[in-house]
Amino acid sequence: MNAGPEGNEVARWGGREILFFFLRFLAASLVLYGLYLVAGKYYAHAIAFIAKPLLALFGFKMIMETALKITEDISLNPIVFLSLVIAVGKISWLRKLRAAAIGVAILTAANSLTVFFAFVSSYRNSERLWTGTEFLSLTINFFVPILLWLVLLPIRSVFPFFGSREE
């Protein structure tokens, strides 16, 4: 670890960058959540409509009211992901837009799978399948947005503490 003046400068810059990242993340989250309150029902419907053909393949019927109740719990993960994408600095907007599009598409597909599995576990009355669906839902909601952010954007180049350490 650098203990000299250069190390202190990196630490100061890193702390400032983390603070600005957090403030941008908070601001983006508030704005995106406000948009979600207005237009989130359309996203919830989209998730249900994507799951509907999968259910039909297995001979199950989509009950939209139930699907919308399920999507209320799972449809906020794009907000977390997009807030992370917006908050990170020193990455071009074109690259951020590309990552945002890919990430939201992946999260939407994953959310649709969760709805599909929730219906299948209900129709089959399977506690095991329901447990797996709950695990999938928790993973998609908490882990996948952060994983996508790390994979789709060059985060290591933005935050100095990810750099190589000389001992």
For helices 93-124 and 127-138, the axis angle rounded to 10 degrees is 170
pLDDT at 11: 55
Give the mean pLDDT per block of 10 residues along the chain (167 residues): 53 73 95 94 93 94 89 87 93 94 96 94 90 90 93 75 51
Please report which residue ranges of 60-126 form alpha helices under DSSP H. Answer: 64-74, 77-87, 93-124
Amino acid at 57: L
- What's the CA gap between 147 and 126, in Å, rounded? 30
pLDDT at position 167, please?
A: 40
Is the pTM of the predicted complex or chain greater than 0.75? Answer: yes
Task: Kindly state the tokens that stand for 149.
Answer: 């952010």
Q: How many whole angstroms separate alpha carbon 150 and alpha carbon 146? A: 6
What pLDDT is stored for residue 115 in this prediction? 94
Q: Provide the angle, in degrees to the nearest 10, between the axes of the packed helices 93-124 and 77-87.
A: 160
